[in-house]
Amino acid sequence: MEETTKLSGQEQTEKSEATIQIGNYPVMESALEVLTILGKKKKIVLKSKGNSIPNAVAVANIITEKMLKGNSKVERIILDTVSAAGIGNMTSTIEIILIKS
């Protein structure tokens, strides 16, 4: 079973990769937390949904283009939409996979 811990509203898994839920937190604060975790892990999955998707994209850009330019890259981006059962409301989701070289 996978062990998960919460870190300022974000979660981190105990293995070679970490999964971080990006919400409506300040972008630089989230980027610094991701940078700290990326120092210990080789792969990070940024997950976000709805109105916080731009924050996840901004965090990924800050990490790959400013903080770890040349030492990290976006491996894959997964876009999806989930809908509530029978209601018709749809929410977009994104997963951005970052790897450290």
Half-sphere exposure of 63 (CA within 13 A, CB side): 31
Name which residue leads in pLDDT, 83 or 84: 83
Residue with tokens 């924050």: 55
The 10s digit of each residue's pLDDT in 2-48 is 334 344 444 444 468 899 999 999 999 999 999 999 889 999 999 99
Q: What's the pLDDT score for residue 6?
A: 43
Q: Is 23 helix (H, G, I), strand (E, B) or coil?
A: coil
Indicate the range of 32-36, 43-47, 68-72, 81-85 predicted with least confidence: 81-85
Dihedral (C-alpha) 53, 55, 57, 58: value to the nearest 10 degrees? 160
Q: How far apart (Å, rounded) are the C-alpha atoms in residues 80 and 101?
A: 27
Rounded average pLDDT over 73-99: 89
- Domain-wise residue ranges, the chain: 4-100
Domain 4-100 sits in CATH at 3.30.110.20
